């Protein structure tokens, strides 16, 4: 508890997310082995690919009897948003040399969201690394557990872990909703996501939302007199 | 029967390359007040989108299940100024309890 108190708010947020998300690795490990992948193939996906959506897409295609090529395509398409995240983190942290390679590997939904929700550069950095490295450690640990135990632990949804993910993202969004414009953008992007969901492959609706928000930001401000 | 290691490793390499691309673009492209405004709004848009995907997406369908309950409970907790970890725990507990009750 003392160590927990020694952490800054961003560090605590990052670690909370790391545990909640990491636990979900159990379901990935179990499903991956059930899909016919070997233990080490499952671990390779969690350690090397390390982006949950793409990993689930890869084993999903394999489960459905799809070829390696189509599994590759689905996983790659789903990972495109990570390039957008990389641009954001690069702007916030300006990592150099090998730090940049490490930062790239742990650039995922959770680390980007944690960093972006902080107000100061120091907290952004702490939030990014706490969530990024934390999720990496827990995700791989629990992937191994899931792959080894399989059905014993059962469905992680039974423990409400998907509800934890929802709560984590809305809690990260919440403090940013000050003023009319942020709320309007959030609502517009939420609706764009819901509308795009049935028509686009998984992962793409998030890019649609990002495009809507970017277009909104690039639009000339309506009240120039305010400046 | 296992899947092809070749495609699997290629997919892993592609995932890393995609992440790295964002870091290789010049950081000054993202500097300036206009880009600060855009990135701020994109952050909000991405978070809002992640909330919707995590709460309502069931593959390529929208679904109303225990996760929607978790979303409402989390919002209630935020209105009551519960700290971050508490909100996450409340979200998990409400989804688990709703499922236990046979809802979603």
Q: What is the pLDDT of residue A7?
A: 83
Is A117's CB within 8 Å of B96's CB?
A: no
Considering only the beta carbons, identify the residue of A86, A158, A212 that sits closest to B20. Answer: A86
Cβ–Cβ contacts within 10 Å for residue B17, how many?
A: 15
CA distance A57 to A179: 37
Phi-psi region of A205 (alpha: psi -120 to 50; beta: other; left: phi over 0): alpha
Model ipTM value: 0.85
DSSP 8-state secondary structure symbol assigned to residue A220: P
Q: Which residues fall within 8 angstroms of residue A120, CB to CB, at 6 or more apart?
A: none
The CA-CA-CA angle for residues B102, B77, A51, to 5°, reads 75
- How far apart are the CA of A107 and the nearest CA of chain B, in angstroms? 7
Q: What is the pLDDT of residue A149?
A: 85
Tell whether A102 lies on the interface with B, counting CB pairs under 8 A. Answer: no
- How far apart are the CA of B9 and the nearest CA of chain A, in angstroms? 8
Which of A9, A159, A170 is the mutation pick for testing B, counting most B CBs within 10 A?
A: A170
- How far apart are the CA of B42 and the nearest CA of chain A, in angstroms? 5
Q: What is the pLDDT of residue B36?
A: 74
Closest CA to B20 of A54, A143, A107, A39: A107
Q: What count of Cα atoms within 13 Å lies in the side-chain half-sphere of residue A52? A: 23
Tell whether B10 lies on the interface with A, counting CB pairs under 8 A. Answer: yes
- How far apart are the CA of B7 and the nearest CA of chain A, in angstroms? 5
pLDDT digits (tens, 9 = 90+) for B48-71: 988 998 899 887 889 999 999 999
Contact predicate A89/B22, CB 8 Å: yes
Contact predicate A127/A12, CB 8 Å: no
- How far apart are the CA of A55 and the nearest CA of chain B, in angstroms? 9
Considering only the beta carbons, identify the residue of B3, B7, B27 that sits closest to A90. Answer: B27
Which of A105, A131, A157, A171 is the mutation pick for testing B, counting most B CBs within 10 A?
A: A171
Domain boundaries, chain A: 2-176, 178-227
pLDDT digits (tens, 9 = 90+) for A61-111: 787 777 888 888 878 877 888 888 899 899 899 998 899 999 999 999 999
Residue A225 has pLDDT above 60, yes or no: no
Residue in chain B nearest A178 by alpha carbon = B44
Contact predicate A146/A45, CB 8 Å: no
Tell me which residues of chain B, numbers 64 to 103, contact chain A at a CB-CB cutoff of 8 Å: 66-67, 69-71, 73-75, 77-78, 84-85, 87-97, 99
Q: What is the pTM of this model?
A: 0.74
The CA-CA-CA angle for residues A132, B40, B89, to 5°, reads 45
Contact predicate A158/B96, CB 8 Å: yes
Distance of CA A185 to the CA centre of its chain: 20
pLDDT digits (tens, 9 = 90+) for B77-96: 999 999 877 898 899 899 99
Q: What is the pLDDT of residue A22?
A: 87
Query: Greater confidence, A224 or A62?
Result: A62
Q: Which residues fall within 8 angstroms of residue B15, CB to CB, at 6 or more apart?
A: A48, A49, A50, A51, A54, A75, A76, A79, A82
Q: Which residues fall within 8 angstroms of residue A7, CB to CB, at 6 or more apart?
A: A15, A130
Chain A residues closer than 8 Å to B51 by CB? 166, 169-170, 173, 190
**What is the interface size between A and B, counted as CB pairs within 8 Å?**
314
Tell me which residues of chain B, numbers 35 to 64, contact chain A at a CB-CB cutoff of 8 Å: 35, 37-57, 59-62
């Amino acid at each position: 508890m003392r160590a927990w108190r020694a952490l800054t708010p961003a560090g605590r947020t990052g670690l909370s997310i790391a545990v909640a998300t990491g636990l979900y690795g159990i379901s990935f490990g179990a499903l991956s082995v059930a899909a016919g992948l070997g233990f080490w193939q499952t671990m390779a996906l969690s350690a090397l690919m390390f982006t949950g959506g793409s990993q689930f897409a890869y084993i999903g295609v394999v489960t459905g009897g799809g070829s390696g090529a189509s599994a590759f395509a689905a996983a790659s398409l789903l990972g495109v948003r990570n390039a957008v995240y990389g641009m954001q983190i690069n702007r916030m942290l300006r990592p150099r040399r090998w730090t940049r390679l490490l930062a790239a590997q742990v650039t995922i939904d959770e680390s980007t969201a944690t960093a972006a929700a902080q107000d100061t550069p120091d907290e952004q950095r702490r939030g990014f690394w706490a969530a990024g490295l934390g999720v990496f450690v827990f995700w791989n640990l629990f992937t191994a557990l899931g792959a080894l135990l399989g059905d014993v632990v059962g469905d992680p949804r039974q423990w409400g872990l998907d509800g934890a993910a929802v709560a984590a993202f809305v809690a990260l969004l919440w403090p940013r909703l000050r003023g009319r414009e942020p709320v309007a953008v959030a609502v517009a992007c939420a609706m764009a996501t819901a509308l795009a969901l049935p028509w686009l492959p998984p992962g793409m609706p998030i890019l649609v939302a990002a495009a809507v928000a970017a277009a909104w930001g690039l639009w000339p401000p309506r009240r120039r007199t305010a400046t | 029967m296992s899947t092809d290691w070749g495609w699997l490793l290629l997919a892993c390499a592609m995932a890393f390359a995609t992440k790295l691309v964002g870091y290789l673009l010049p950081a000054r492209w993202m500097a300036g007040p206009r880009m600060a405004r855009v990135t701020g709004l994109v952050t909000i848009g991405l978070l809002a989108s992640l909330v919707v995907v995590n709460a309502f997406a069931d593959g390529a369908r929208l679904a109303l299940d225990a996760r929607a309950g978790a979303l409402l409970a989390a919002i209630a907790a935020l209105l009551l100024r519960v700290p971050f970890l508490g909100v996450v725990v409340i979200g998990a507990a409400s989804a688990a309890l709703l499922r236990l009750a046979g809802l979603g």
